[in-house]
Structure 1
């Protein structure tokens, strides 16, 4: 099995990763929101659209 971060061979202690470093990189991606599951909830979609509108209005032109 290959590590999902660097494609090296995995180590049982850190499975499915090859090292603590790769495990920490993966954890950081989860914590920073790099990994996300899309929502189909209409309220979430409205909130996301509102956030985009606010961001666009806040930028000076």
Structure 2
């Protein structure tokens, strides 16, 4: 298996990365927003369209 950041062979202690540096760089990319999980929800709930047929969510 190769490191997703630099392509070198992985080290067991840092798997799936080759080193602490590559693991930290990947974590930094998540923290600064370089990586993002796509969403279909609007960023601001107030901007969401309000349909007449929508049923409000009720807690169980």
Q: What TM-score does the superposition give when structure 1 sets the normalisation length?
A: 0.68
For these two proteins, the number of residue pairs brought into alignment is 46
Q: What TM-score does the superposition give when structure 2 sets the normalisation length?
A: 0.69
- Cα distance in 2 for partners of 1:44, 1:3 equals 33
Unaligned runs of 5+ residues in structure 2 are 49-60
- The answer for the alignment partner of 2:3 in structure 1 is 3
Would you say 1:31 and 2:46 are equivalent positions? Answer: no
What RMSD in Å do the two structures reach over aligned CA positions? 1.8
Give 1:38 deviation, angstroms.
1.4
Indicate the structure (1 or 2) with the bigger Cα radius of gyration.
Answer: 2
